[in-house]
C-alpha cells in the first residue's frame, strides 16, 4: 500500500508543480490549440489554449516509472514503453499540427504505422520476455474462467492497445473529460491489484496514472488552462491497455471504459451512415458533442460521463470480485 501511495504522490506532485512553469512556456512558444469551426460555437473561445500538455505528466511518469522499474519492478517496463511510445506518436502528430501548422497533423497511415509498431513491440515483449502467459480472464467469472489466446495473443493485444488509445483520443474533446474518466479507471485497476495481492507492478503503474490524471486535472478542468493533445490521450490509452494486459484482464476495459467505446462507436456509426444515406444519426460525433448540441452545458456532459464511468467501475469491480468471494 505504501508503494502505491508513494508512486501516486510522486507523479501527482511533479505534475501539479510543473503546471505553473510548463503552461506559460507553451504560451510563450505559441503552442496553442486550433479549434474546428464546425464544432459547438462555445468551443471557439478555446482557440489558443496551450496544447501538447501530455508532456506535463509523461515526464513524471517516465521518472517515477523508471525509478520503480530499476529498484524493484522491472515488469512495468513494457507498460512504460507502450505509454511513452504512444505518447511519442501523439507528440509528433501534435508537433506537425502546432509547429508546422498542418491542421490535420501527420497522415492517418503514418499515425497508424507508429501505433502498430509500438503495440507490436509491446505485445511481443510481453509474449516472449515475461512469464504472464497467453491467458486472459473473462469478466464476471470471478477470476476463474480464462481464454488461452495462444498464437493469437500478439495480434489481439496489439489490436486492443491501439483500439484503447484511439478511443481515449476520440473522447478527448471537453475540459477534464478524459482526465477524469482515466483517473477513475486507473483507481479501479490499482484497487484490483491491491485487493488480489497480485500484479503489484501493474498496481503501482495504475497509481502513477491516477496521480498523473489528478495532477493534470488541476489545470485541465473547466475552463481548461491546458489541453493534453494527442501525446497525452494516446499515452493514457496505452497505459490503461498495458496495465490491463499485465493483470491479464484487458476485457475489463470494455466494462469500465464503456464511455470510450461508445464515443468510438458514435464516430463509426456517424461516418458509415452518412456515407450510405447522406444523413447523420447524431448532431455531431463524437457523442459528447452531440449532447452539447442538444443544449447540455459542457460541464454537465463531463460530470454525467464521469458519473457513468464511476458506476461502470463499480460494475467492473464486481465483475472481478463477485459477491461472496
Contact 33, 227 (CB under 8 A): yes
Render the burial of 103-138: b for 16+ CB within 10 Å, e for the rest: eebbeeeebeebbeebbbebbebbbeeeebebebbe
| Nearest alpha-carbon partner for 23 in 45, 55, 63, 69 | 55
What pLDDT does 300 receive? 97
82 in a structural domain:
yes
What pLDDT does 324 receive? 46
For the segment 171-201, what is each residue's pLDDT rounded down to a tens digit?
Answer: 999 999 999 999 999 999 999 999 988 889 9
274 in a structural domain:
no
**For the chain, what is the domain count?**
1
273 in a structural domain:
no
266 in a structural domain:
no
Print the domain residue range for 59. Answer: 2-254
What pLDDT does 100 receive? 85
Phi, psi of 154 (to 5 degrees): -60, -50
Instruction: Give the number of other CB atoms < 10 A from CB of residue 253.
Output: 26
Q: DSSP states of 136-189 as a string? A: EEPTTSTT--EEE-GGGHHHHHHHHHHHHHHHHHHH--STTHHHHHHHHHHHHH
| Nearest alpha-carbon partner for 142 in 312, 311, 324 | 324
307 in a structural domain:
no
What pLDDT does 65 receive? 97
42 in a structural domain:
yes
192 in a structural domain:
yes
What pLDDT does 42 receive? 67
202 in a structural domain:
yes
Contact 125, 81 (CB under 8 A): yes
Contact 165, 153 (CB under 8 A): no
> Per the structure block, which three cell numbers stand in for 87?
505518447
Q: Which ranges of the chain have pLDDT less than 50?
A: 324-325
What pLDDT does 323 receive? 53
Amino acid at each position: 500500500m505504501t508503494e502505491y501511495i508513494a508512486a501516486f504522490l510522486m507523479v501527482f506532485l511533479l505534475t501539479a508543480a510543473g503546471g505553473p512553469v510548463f503552461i506559460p512556456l507553451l504560451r510563450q512558444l505559441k503552442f496553442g490549440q486550433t479549434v474546428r469551426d464546425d464544432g459547438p460555437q462555445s468551443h471557439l473561445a478555446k482557440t489558443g489554449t496551450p496544447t501538447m500538455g501530455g508532456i506535463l505528466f509523461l515526464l513524471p511518469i517516465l521518472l517515477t516509472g523508471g525509478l520503480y522499474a530499476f529498484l524493484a519492478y522491472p515488469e512495468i517496463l513494457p507498460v512504460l514503453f507502450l505509454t511513452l511510445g504512444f505518447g511519442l506518436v501523439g507528440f509528433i502528430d501534435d508537433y506537425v499540427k502546432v509547429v508546422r501548422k498542418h491542421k490535420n497533423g501527420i497522415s492517418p497511415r503514418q499515425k497508424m504505422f507508429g501505433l502498430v509498431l509500438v503495440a507490436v513491440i509491446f505485445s511481443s515483449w510481453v509474449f516472449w520476455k515475461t512469464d504472464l502467459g497467453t491467458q486472459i480472464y473473462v469478466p464476471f467469472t470471478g477470476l476463474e474462467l480464462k481464454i488461452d489466446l495462444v498464437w493469437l495473443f500478439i495480434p489481439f493485444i496489439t489490436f486492443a492497445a491501439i483500439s484503447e488509445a484511439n478511443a481515449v483520443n476520440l473522447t478527448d474533446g471537453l475540459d477534464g473529460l478524459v482526465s477524469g474518466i482515466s483517473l477513475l479507471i486507473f483507481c479501479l485497476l490499482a484497487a484490483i491489484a491491491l485487493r488480489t495481492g497480485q500484479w503489484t507492478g501493474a498496481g503501482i503503474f495504475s497509481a502513477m496514472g491516477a496521480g498523473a490524471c489528478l495532477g493534470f486535472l488541476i489545470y485541465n478542468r473547466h475552463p481548461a488552462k491546458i489541453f493534453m493533445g494527442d501525446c497525452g490521450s494516446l499515452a493514457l490509452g496505452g497505459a490503461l491497455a498495458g496495465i490491463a494486459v499485465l493483470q491479464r484482464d484487458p476485457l475489463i476495459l470494455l466494462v469500465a471504459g464503456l464511455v470510450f467505446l461508445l464515443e468510438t462507436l458514435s464516430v463509426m456509426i456517424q461516418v458509415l451512415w452518412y456515407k450510405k444515406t447522406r444523413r447523420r444519426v447524431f448532431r455531431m460525433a463524437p457523442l459528447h458533442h452531440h449532447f452539447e448540441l442538444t443544449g447540455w452545458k459542457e460541464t454537465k456532459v463531463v460530470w454525467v460521463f464521469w458519473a457513468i464511468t464511476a458506476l461502470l467501475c463499480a460494475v467492473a469491480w464486481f465483475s472481478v470480485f463477485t459477491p461472496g468471494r
